[in-house]
A = this chain, B = another copy of it.
Amino acid sequence: MFTKQELTDYTKEAREKWLNHISIDCVVFGFHEGQLKVLLLKMRNEAKWYLPGGFVLKQEQLDVAANRILKERTSLDHIFLQQFHVFGDPARSQPHTDMYNGMVEDKDNWFATRFITIGYYALVDFHNTVPTPDAMSEACVWCNLEEVPALSLDHGQILENALYTLRLQLNYLPIGYNLMPNEFTMPELQKLYETILGKKLDRRNFQRKILAFDILNRSEHPRKGGAHKAPYLYSFNLEKYEQALKDGLASGW
């Protein structure tokens, strides 16, 4: 928490350094072995939790800013973040000013200005990504989706919108590379979809639809092991996968 002088100084510096009125918030979903989680920060001296967020340098690309912000606040690097929605309700910045309300004039309070925030999201293997909080935060943790606490500002709405986007994208974009092992069985891939959708899927329908996407290779050798009927192993056909990321899935029109 800033003192009056610190807030005035911060405001002056921030106006020079950052593109005014723009912020970025990141929704990072973590998946591992059938669990879906989201990355949350808890600021020092504040009760509420936040999505990792920050500002854009005067001459910085938005995608670059999103990755820098995520790295600075959580230590996570090389995350494939995608823009999904802009949140610009004039009322959304209001609660942010409460903490410093009346301490200085609005013109001397960076946090009293209106911010349009650009939402970015990613889906990563959270087993391989160990977040570390920055100096402003006392905690940075993976939180189970069903156990997300009340979030600050409109971050609850941003999280909900990101989850909605992720679920819709299962219908037209490939998913799972970097989340699945090199080779996987059909039930293992189905589990990824079920976890994101939060519901069970029919085994036959799943297999039929996912094969129609034409992004999988089937290995000629079933998985070795003691099972009587060993399951087939699949891997992503990276060339077709990349193409589908650009054009949409082959099951489309």
Q: Which residues of B contact A88 (CB under 8 A)?
A: 56, 61-62, 118
Q: Which residue of B lies closest to A59 (CB)?
A: B90
Copies of this chain in its oligomeric complex: 2
A60 at the interface (CB under 8 A from B): yes
Q: Which residues of B contact A252 (CB under 8 A)?
A: 168, 170-171
Assembled-state Cα–Cα distance A19/B21 (Å): 8
Contact (Cβ within 8 A) A201 B253: yes
Contact (Cβ within 8 A) A171 B59: no
Assembled-state Cα–Cα distance A85/B172 (Å): 17
Option from B62, B172, B201, B251 in Cβ contact (under 8 Å) with A86? B62
A197 at the interface (CB under 8 A from B): yes
How distant is A85 from chain B, measured CB to nearest CB, in Å? 7
Most chain-B Cβ atoms within 10 A of its Cβ — which of A172, A209, A251?
A172
Q: Which residue of B lies closest to A83 (CB)?
A: B86
Option from B58, B116, B171, B193 in Cβ contact (under 8 Å) with A62? B116
Q: A19-B21, A201-B253 are in contact. Are A171 and B58 (CB under 8 A)?
A: no
Q: A19-B21, A83-B86, A116-B22 are in contact. Are A171 and B253 (CB under 8 A)?
A: yes
Assembled-state Cα–Cα distance A251/B86 (Å): 28
A68 at the interface (CB under 8 A from B): no
A20 at the interface (CB under 8 A from B): yes
A37 at the interface (CB under 8 A from B): no
Contact (Cβ within 8 A) A193 B253: yes
Q: Which residues of B contact A112 (CB under 8 A)?
A: none
Contact (Cβ within 8 A) B86 A118: yes
Contact (Cβ within 8 A) B114 A19: yes
A167 at the interface (CB under 8 A from B): yes
Q: Which residues of B contact A176 (CB under 8 A)?
A: none
How distant is A165 from chain B, measured CB to nearest CB, in Å? 10
By a beta-carbon cutoff of 8 Å, the part of chain A in contact with chain B is 19-22, 56, 58-62, 83, 85-86, 88-90, 114, 116, 118, 167-168, 170-172, 193, 197, 201, 209, 248-249, 251-253
